Amino acid sequence: MPIARLIAGPCRIKEQPALRRLLNEVFISERGARVLQDHAAGAAKPCRVLRSVSRTRFAPASEVAPMKVLAIMGSPRKGDTYHLTQRVEEKMRALGEYEFEYLWLRDLDLGFCHGCYGCLWRGDEACPHHDVVVEVERRLLAADGVVFASPVYALDMTALLKNLLDHLAHHMHRPCFFDQRVLLVCTAGAMGVGIALRTMPAVGVMGFTVAHKLGMLMQSEQRTHAEERLIERKAERAAQAFHRALHAPRPSPSLMDLITFRAQQVFFRLNRDQVPADHEYFAERGWFNPQRKYYVDMPVNPLKDLVARFVGRASAWQTRRRLATPARVASGMSGPPQ
């Protein structure tokens, strides 16, 4: 959407200096343009608009397209989880322009993680399943929103979804999914939704922002009217939360996020030989700079930052000491396995 048209809307932000600077730019980010559009429609506050615009990747204004949602399906069948995800899709389409794409993990030729540590120690390409993983990563990075959907099997997410997360685990050291908002969807016959929804947010450490968790007990395809109504209500709530998150700037990092960043910053800097891939990734992005407060450049609460510096450093040193104990050195645990 051309910026001139957006400014012509009912905007008080015309006076804002940051936006004035933007007017001189040829490019505007996709997300920024959408938020501006929302502002013009009276749905977003000016300060939120400006923060969003200043924090996002830039793309030609002419390329602003419907938001892409990639639904990663962790069930081996098109059953309850698919039904629930489709209800969310319907509600999302009523709220805005969305393109949904379903990725069925059962159809991927992805073997189980061998535990070779290749991705962690030597880099992504060292994974024996790199060809498949890199394609999933490409699709994740191309999406604005991601739905991770799984039924409960033996009180947790399915092995299909867990196996994918295992293959993405190196992004917990080298996070990259900062532009993607996530909806977690989980179904069960009786129990385990709470447990699964507590383990699935591991994706947060990879950079994803978890916008909402949707858990439902769904006994069968023979649903009563009351059950269908409950599904509709919960799907509606999830769609609204996901839609809001997709149009809002990234929320401020939590204290845990900041501690993780600081611990990695110290640990990867001191252990170049043990974690060369992580060291290089941080160095390339300037993340070793002590002035850097988080992976992405954004406002950080100063008190949380102070606590995170202290706790993160202490935890990095503790890990370093633990990995350097003679028993671990002898067993090869402190370096890449052969």
Ligand X SMILES: Cc1cc2nc3c(=O)[nH]c(=O)nc-3n(C[C@H](O)[C@H](O)[C@H](O)COP(=O)(O)O)c2cc1C
Contact status: 189 vs ligand X (CB under 6 A) = yes
Closest CB 181 distance from ligand X, rounded Å: 23
- Of 81, 76, 98, give the one whose Cα is nearest residue 89: 98
Q: How many residues bind ligand X (CB under 6 A)?
A: 18
Write phi, then psi, for 311 (nearest 5 degrees).
Answer: -65, -40
If the CB atoms of residues 30 and 80 are measured against ligand X, the closer one turns out to be 80
Closest CB 183 distance from ligand X, rounded Å: 16
Looking at the DSSP bridge assignments, the partners of residue 71 are: 102, 147
Closest CB 220 distance from ligand X, rounded Å: 8
Give the residue at shortest CB distance from ligand X.
Answer: 79
Give the neighbor-by-neighbor strand order of the sheet with 145-151: 98-104, 67-73, 145-151, 181-188, 209-217
Question: Pick from 75, 260, 264, 265: which binds ligand X (CB under 6 A)?
Answer: 75
- Chain centroid offset of residue 227 CA: 30
H runs (alpha helix) in 247-275: 255-270
Interacting residues of 281 by C-beta distance below 8 A, sequence separation 6+: 173, 174, 287
If the CB atoms of residues 141 and 191 are measured against ligand X, the closer one turns out to be 191
Contact status: 271 vs ligand X (CB under 6 A) = no
Candidate segments 16-24, 26-34, 185-193, 287-295, binder of ligand X by CB under 6 A: 185-193
Identify whether the C-beta of residue 139 lies closer than 8 Å to the C-beta of residue 176. Answer: no
How far is 306 from 302, CA to CA, in rounded Å? 6
Window 135 to 174, contacts with ligand X (CB under 6 A): 151-155
Contact status: 187 vs ligand X (CB under 6 A) = yes
Closest CB 93 distance from ligand X, rounded Å: 21
How far is 230 from 223, CA to CA, in rounded Å? 11
Candidate segments 42-50, 77-85, 108-116, 279-287, binder of ligand X by CB under 6 A: 77-85
Contact status: 222 vs ligand X (CB under 6 A) = no
Write phi, then psi, for 314 (nearest 5 degrees).
Answer: -60, -45
Closest CB 238 distance from ligand X, rounded Å: 16
Candidate segments 17-25, 181-189, 272-280, 326-334, binder of ligand X by CB under 6 A: 181-189
If the CB atoms of residues 52 and 187 are measured against ligand X, the closer one turns out to be 187
Closest CB 190 distance from ligand X, rounded Å: 4
Contact status: 190 vs ligand X (CB under 6 A) = yes
The token pair that represents 191 in the structure block: 């129990």
How far is 217 from 261, CA to CA, in rounded Å? 36
How far is 102 from 68, CA to CA, in rounded Å? 11
Candidate segments 22-30, 188-196, 198-206, 267-275, binder of ligand X by CB under 6 A: 188-196
How far is 134 from 114, CA to CA, in rounded Å? 17
User: Which residues contact ligand X by CB under 6 A?
Assistant: 75, 77, 79-82, 151-155, 187-192, 218
